[in-house]
Structure 1
Amino acid sequence: MQDLLELEQKQPFLYHKSYTSNRAEGWPMKLTQKQLDRGNSLLNQHAIYLNGEEISLYIHYWGGETSLNSNKPHKHSFFEICYIVDGEGTYIENGEEYPLRKGKLFLSRPNIKHQIISINQLHIVFIAFEPLYPKASEKGASIYKHLSVVEPFILDLQNEVHPELLWTALLLQAQQTNTFMKDTIVNLSSSLLFSLTQLYIKGEDETDSTQSKGLSTTVIHRAKLYIRDNLSQPLRLKDVAENLHISSRHLSRLFTEELGVTFTQYVRNERINRATNLLTTTKLPIKEIAIQTGFETVHYFTTVFKDIIGVTPGEFSKRLISNE
């Protein structure tokens, strides 16, 4: 126990007794208003543009209140995600009332009038953002357009620890001063906001076909790496398939469907690609290059090389020397 106390004194942002308490008592670490203000101030300076692969987001503001009073009915042109750290209240949207309590996450969508009624001064954190559609892929734009009409827009995160941990870590990190502070909080901000969005669109962009496509891509990638790293050895379809724990027939079909060439054609092309690289960057004899690229004889190597490149390995080398 003494070791833990010493660790807390040396690195308070890595260990805090509230992290080990019952989660029902609140999120991992309740921050004071001063901590919230400082953290959000730095976030509002540095975490403004969050760039993702499918879409980029512009952050209008990060905020938080440990004792939020009720606000007036209003609407805005952007999204706002709010999380209730503690307290009770009511969220009103289009005249409908929704109870708020600890662990509730709700999404205020663009151009919809809403209001928060606080019963006992809500402890709340929030992010206001909008998608940058001109920088979005078709898939990314579609997801965020769906977000503007998503149902339900209020979620109970009693079983979702991940967003709480990320949000706490982000605000705590923003208290620190270090060389990589900006990079760290931008990366954490992106992880937090995209993970919160994912809670609302869970399952919307994941289908059996996309999962199957992902698995196929992974298998092909592993097969290509295995071939690349073992070009000097015999590369039979059966051996590579066994290494990947799939059938020869399945692997053969993947090469044809995903790469547009047969397994044999791919291996042959990779051997010749390696050979041209060795001819260009080394002074190895042609016989040694044939051995390193997995050809049984120089004659066979020469035949395949000429068939693909259009000249023999010897002529290829002479042209390189001539060009130099």
Structure 2
Amino acid sequence: MYQWNKSEERLNRYAGLLKGANLTFHVYYWGTSQNLTSNVVHKHSFFEVCYVLAGTGLYIEEGVSYSLYEGVLFCSRPNIFHQIKDVDCLDLLYVAFELDENLTMADEFEKYRHNLRHGAVWLEHLTDSPTVFIWKSLLVPKNAEKAAPISVLPQLAHALLASFPAVLGMYSGSEAVSMDSSAALHIHRAKLYIRDNLGSSPTLPEVASYLNLSERHLSRLFAQSIHESFSSLLQKERIRAAEQMLIHTQDPIKEIAVRTGFSSVHYFTRVFTKSKGIPPAAFREAGRQN
């Protein structure tokens, strides 16, 4: 029905960074696997959404088993241990991705993540859903002349990922996390400032002054809008930046610790290991193997 290898190759080559007006995605990998085998218990730092084209199996997440068969879509959320096992002729489509917070509107970023984090893990009977039609349109059929042109792959892929909250999300748009435009802009600018100045360990007074806000008001924005403290957000941004440096550079871990604002490599290793469940060196090695 499909040219599996060619489909996967095209998507990974041409549908990596997916830019949109409100949402921008970084795709880590696309998969189009025929006769997928079982895998070991593992977790990711990103979202991975899968769709079953054919065959059967089990998806295990935190001790709960979900049956896999044609028409099932399921979502592996960040830092949740999971496994696929007991497979029989399992044909699977999957995509691993995360939002680019710098290029995504702040309110859309929060709503998207909220819906996927708190929505359904497993859904069935989606064979005729618009989401699945879009996904199939990304594949190369046996007659390659009928494949979608490469020029439209990014737009189609973006539409697919943008559709996931509507399918998996348990909240409507009015119930999802929302922020007024002024608060959203302040939060977005605060995050950008923090990311650009991690090495100098930005403080709440410093960021508040940059935004021309009082410390109290900025703290309240964090608490009410994204339900996080300034210190919690700062640490998450440090870990996020460290992840990217570990994967995409050869910089020594000590240097990465300094550039992300940690007082020592020992403290960096302890915080990173607690957050990701794996030490920085092992995280880097695992990223190279993938």
Secondary structure of 2:28's partner? strand
- Residue identity (%): 31
Runs of 5+ unmatched residues, structure 1:
1-29, 211-324
Q: Which of 36, 41, 48 lines up with 2:4 in the alignment?
A: 36
TM-score, normalization by structure 1: 0.49
- Distance change (3 Å), C-alpha of 1:94 and 1:202: closer
Indicate yes or no: 2:36 matched with 1:68: yes
Q: By how many angstroms is 1:192 displaced?
A: 1.6
Q: By how many angstroms is 1:103 displaced?
A: 0.5
Indicate yes or no: 2:19 matched with 1:51: yes
Take 1:173 and 1:119, find their aligned partners in 2: how far apart are those partners?
A: 24
Deviations 1:173-216 (A, max 9, x none): 898589x9332111111122212332123652147xx9xxxxxx
Is residue 120–residue 169 contact of structure 2 (8 Å, CA) maintained in 1? no
Match of 2:78 in 1: 110
- Distance change (3 Å), C-alpha of 1:163 and 1:49: same
Indicate yes or no: 2:152 matched with 1:184: yes
Match of 1:255 in 2: none
- Distance change (3 Å), C-alpha of 1:202 and 1:184: farther
Return structure 1 stretches of 4+ with deviation > 4 angstroms: 173-178
Match of 1:129 in 2: 97
- Distance change (3 Å), C-alpha of 1:135 and 1:74: same
Select the structure with the greater relative contact order (CA < 8 A; seq sep ≥ 6).
2
Take 1:119 and 1:172, find their aligned partners in 2: how far apart are those partners?
A: 24
Take 2:55 and 2:63, find their aligned partners in 1: how far apart are those partners?
A: 22
Match of 2:140 in 1: 172
TM-score, normalization by structure 2: 0.55
Take 1:177 and 1:162, find their aligned partners in 2: how far apart are those partners?
A: 23
Deviations 1:150-194 (A, max 9, x none): 23211113464322222222113898589x933211111112221
- Distance change (3 Å), C-alpha of 1:173 and 1:98: closer
Deviations 1:7-51 (A, max 9, x none): xxxxxxxxxxxxxxxxxxxxxxx42xxx11101101111111111
Match of 2:260 in 1: none
Indicate yes or no: 2:168 matched with 1:193: no
- Distance change (3 Å), C-alpha of 1:176 and 1:49: farther
Match of 2:53 in 1: 85
Is residue 43–residue 174 contact of structure 1 (8 Å, CA) maintained in 2? no
Is residue 88–residue 122 contact of structure 1 (8 Å, CA) maintained in 2? yes
1:8-47 equivalences in 2 (<5 Å): 30-31=1-2, 35-47=3-15
Match of 1:98 in 2: 66
Take 2:174 and 2:50, find their aligned partners in 1: how far apart are those partners?
A: 25
Deviations 1:267-303 (A, max 9, x none): xxxxxxxxxxxxxxxxxxxxxxxxxxxxxxxxxxxxx
Is residue 61–residue 82 contact of structure 2 (8 Å, CA) maintained in 1? yes
Secondary structure of 1:87's partner? strand
Match of 2:113 in 1: 145
Supply the RMSD in Å over aligned alpha carbons: 2.6
What letter is aligned with 1:131? L
Take 2:69 and 2:104, find their aligned partners in 1: how far apart are those partners?
A: 35
1:207-218 equivalences in 2 (<5 Å): none
Take 1:123 and 1:143, find their aligned partners in 2: how far apart are those partners?
A: 31
Runs of 5+ unmatched residues, structure 2:
179-290
1:277-316 equivalences in 2 (<5 Å): none
Is residue 29–residue 97 contact of structure 2 (8 Å, CA) maintained in 1? yes
Match of 1:261 in 2: none
- Distance change (3 Å), C-alpha of 1:148 and 1:165: closer
Q: By how many angstroms is 1:65 displaced?
A: 1.2
